[in-house]
A and B are shown apart, each in its own frame.
Chain A
């Protein structure tokens, strides 16, 4: 008996705009006009400014532990623009760039990072699930949300985010397998930033790409330059179209975490400065600026005006968020759709004694 190929597969990698802002015109998406590229640039800058502000607030004790996104802006903004209005987002805990681009109120964002659940309250209005901290556990929610879209016939696609480390978790595979087996409109975005706290991508798995894990689940799987907003946008747009036909996808975005995992770790302990420098040269924002400047669509005064506006909006939101007065009753009163007598007694006792504070 001859031995035959039971299955043959490969993973395609796409880059459309290189680190110098040069594009591959043949691959450049037809629907991506200058204005949209400019908008994407503005949002990437906004995400980075927001990130820097939150980090500074955390250092001053005005925000809780925080997971910065600097370096990963193209992945998040590219997906945001590839999504249609009404599509559903299932974030992990580092996706404030895409949340921002999807319309998250900034004051809610700061309330969340001050450590109050009230910051999550408005996310439903922009079609997003709340931040999910246990790594990978959000992925089955994405599959379920996709099931609901199919069941209800909404025509919406669901975009669920996970990191490189998360792809080693069982919930990641269970979710993509579920979506594949049931033909759900789920797009799984792997934001591969090369580091899972201190573990490098090379030690996370022996698999050559993370995208190939999608092949095991029988879903469309691609890899893109995650620092190239154009390539990410195109992949997201194509995946969304497939999702609406009941074909789930996985997009691995190859990017880099320029900063710490969270404010509680020091990356110099486990990775070299040379590696960080190498990635700095592939910055996702500067290449778009070069592209826009090359086309005469951007200049220093526009940059200055944008930065001032963003900084103003951020400061305004911080002030609003810092004026937010938490109500400790809310931790009791949102647990169930009703108040059990026994829990009411615990609440009454806490309130009567001023929470012993």
Chain B
């Protein structure tokens, strides 16, 4: 089938729910309305109110209840309507989802997939454009996944729905309907914790994910540089091996993400490359990211979100250093 990311995710949910009756979807407006982005459209009709549950407005309650459900034998898939609203559930994620397995030494597990739209570029209200991947990756205990295309979205989600861990499944709003892709009709899985090469090249390594994958692809194409482009797909645990393999080959590393610059995923990757491949580099590592400030209102988002020109200029800088 030739589908966009919304349909690919919907299809992954439907196929997984057919196979596993412990999977329960819950969240705000996910039933009749099909979710504000229509990702769960049609699933209520297909699986009924018992398995597709419209909840009260209650982010902490939804995530907390999902933890209780997961620890009691179900496989909940809570939808957080927007990543910016999910901070109300931060306490549940950080205090409990990360720790339940370890604090019971494995006797209780939290097999749960938290789905939420992330990142900006679609002219929405405040708090609808957050890129929270680093918050959820920092503590350890949460798997953080962010696909950049329909094929990966379906395969990663179907894999996440079989894992016995809490998975944050971050869906870039801008990529929901940006393009379609050929995706197998049937079930398939993509390994979590494994990055992919978007393309291979020799002159530099560009590590990116989410909304920045198409931006980097276009910038590289326009510039004509021969670059390895690595799509992380999983933020935590990070696929350090793939990054190092490419870094050692090209000797030049750039990290591109939409989340703000400081203390972020780029910093993490830079540190790992510096610690383990410093003497195989021929230039300082470069990070391209949004400035270190909260996401502005939509009128200013073009000044905030990294664009192709910003990436191209960083490519020039990296080549000339």
- B69, A341: Cβ atoms closer than 8 Å: no
**Inside 8 A of A149's CB, which chain B residues have their CB?**
72
Give the residues in chain A near B107, CB-CB below 8 Å. Answer: 120-125
| Interface residues in B, total, Cβ within 8 A | 48
The size of the chain A interface, using a CB distance under 8 A, is 47
Q: CB of B232 within 8 A of chain A?
A: no
B90-112 contacts to A (CB < 8 Å): 91-92, 95-96, 100-109
Indicate if A356 sits at the interface (CB-CB under 8 A): no
Choose one: A125, A148, A171, A343; the contact of B72 (CB below 8 Å): A148
Do the beta carbons of B104 and A130 come within 8 Å of each other?
Answer: yes
| Residue B145 lies at the interface, judged by CB distance under 8 Å to chain A | no
Q: Judge whether A120 and B104 touch: CB under 8 Å.
A: yes
Contact of B24 among A134, A151, A181, A336 (CB under 8 A): A151
Contact string against A for B residues 232-249, beta-carbon threshold 8 Å, 1 for contact and 0 otherwise: 000001101100000000
Interface residues of B in 37-77 (CB under 8 A from A): 50, 53, 55-56, 58, 60-74, 76
Q: How far does the alpha carbon of A343 sit from the alpha carbon of B72 in the complex, in Å?
A: 28
Q: Which residues of B contact A137 (CB under 8 A)?
A: 64, 91-92, 95-96
Q: Pick the contact of A123: B60, B104, B140, B164 (CB < 8 A).
A: B104
CB-CB under 8 A for A124 and B64, given A177-B58, A342-B238:
no
Contact B71 A117 (CB under 8 A): no
Contact call B92/A117, Cβ cutoff below 8 A: no
B109 touches A337 (CB 8 A): yes
**Contact (Cβ within 8 A) A152 B73:** yes
Q: Within the complex, which residue of A117, A139, A147, A178 is in contact with B103, where a contact is CB–CB below 8 Å?
A: A117
A148 contacts B73, C-beta separation under 8 Å: yes
Residues of B within 8 A of A148 (CB): 68-69, 72-74
Residues of B near A147 (CB, < 8 A) are: 24, 65, 68-69, 74
Whether A335 and B140, one on each chain, are in contact in the complex, defined by CB atoms closer than 8 angstroms, is: yes
Which of B55, B65, B67 has the most C-beta atoms of chain A within 10 angstroms of its own C-beta?
A: B65
Q: Does A80 contact B (CB under 8 A)?
A: no
Partner of B108, one of A130, A151, A336: A130
Flag A124-146 by CB within 8 Å of B: 1 or 0 each: 11000110101001011111111
User: With a CB–CB cut-off of 8 A, which chain A residues contact B101?
Assistant: 334-337
Say yes or no: is A216 at the interface (Cβ < 8 Å to chain B).
no
> Judging by beta carbons under 8 Å apart, are A175 and B65 in contact?
yes
A130 to B163, CA, bound (A): 22
Main secondary structure of the interface of A (DSSP, over half): helix
Give B243 Cβ to nearest chain A Cβ, in Å: 11
Q: Does A330 contact B (CB under 8 A)?
A: yes
Q: In the complex, A145→B53 CA distance in Å?
A: 15
Interface string of A325-340 (1 = CB under 8 A from B): 0000011001111101
Q: Across the two chains, which residue of chain A brings its CB closest to B68?
A: A144
When distances are taken between beta carbons in the complex, the residues of chain B under 8 Å from A152 are: 72-74
B143 part of interface (Cβ distance < 8 Å) = yes
Partner of B63 from the list A140, A146, A331, A335 (CB cut-off 8 Å) is A140
Q: A42 vs B141: C-alpha distance in the bound complex, in angstroms?
A: 41
- Report if A337-B64 is in contact (Cβ < 8 Å); known contacts: A120-B105, A129-B71: no
Chain A residues in 8 Å Cβ range of B193: 340
Known: A120-B103, A341-B241. A182 touches B55 (CB 8 A): yes
Binary interface encoding of chain A residues 164-180 relative to chain B, with 1 for a CB under 8 A from any of its CBs, else 0 = 00000011001101100
In the complex, whether A90 has a CB less than 8 A from a CB of chain B is: yes
List the B side residues contacting A335 at CB < 8 Å.
101-102, 140-141
Neighbouring A residues of B67 by C-beta, 8 Å: 140-141, 144
How distant is the Cα of A104 from the Cα of B100 in the complex, in angstroms?
A: 18
Q: How far is the CA of A124 from the CA of B106 in the complex (A)?
A: 10
> Is B152 located at the chain interface by the 8 A CB criterion?
no
Asked whether A210 is an interface residue with its Cβ less than 8 Å from the other chain, the reply is no
Closest to B78 in A: A144
Contact indicator per residue, chain B 203-237, by CB within 8 Å of chain A (1) or not (0): 00000000000000000000000000000000001
By Cβ-Cβ distance, the 5 closest A-B pairs, closest first, are: A140-B64, A144-B68, A174-B61, A340-B237, A148-B72
- Besides the known contacts A134-B91, A137-B64, 13 further A-B residue pairs in the complex with CB atoms under 8 A apart: A120-B105, A129-B71, A140-B64, A140-B65, A141-B65, A144-B65, A148-B72, A151-B24, A152-B74, A178-B62, A335-B101, A335-B141, A337-B101
Instruction: List residues of chain B with CB under 8 Å of any chain A CB.
Output: 24, 50, 53, 55-56, 58, 60-74, 76, 88, 91-92, 95-96, 100-109, 140-141, 143, 163-165, 193, 237-238, 240-241
Q: Interface residues, chain A, CB within 8 Å of chain B?
A: 88, 90, 117-118, 120-125, 129-130, 132, 134, 137, 139-149, 151-152, 170-171, 174-175, 177-178, 181-182, 330-331, 334-338, 340-343
Q: What are 20 A-B contacts defined by CB distance under 8 Å?
A: A120-B103, A121-B105, A130-B104, A137-B91, A137-B92, A141-B68, A142-B68, A145-B68, A147-B69, A148-B68, A148-B69, A151-B50, A151-B69, A152-B73, A178-B55, A178-B65, A335-B140, A336-B143, A337-B163, A340-B237
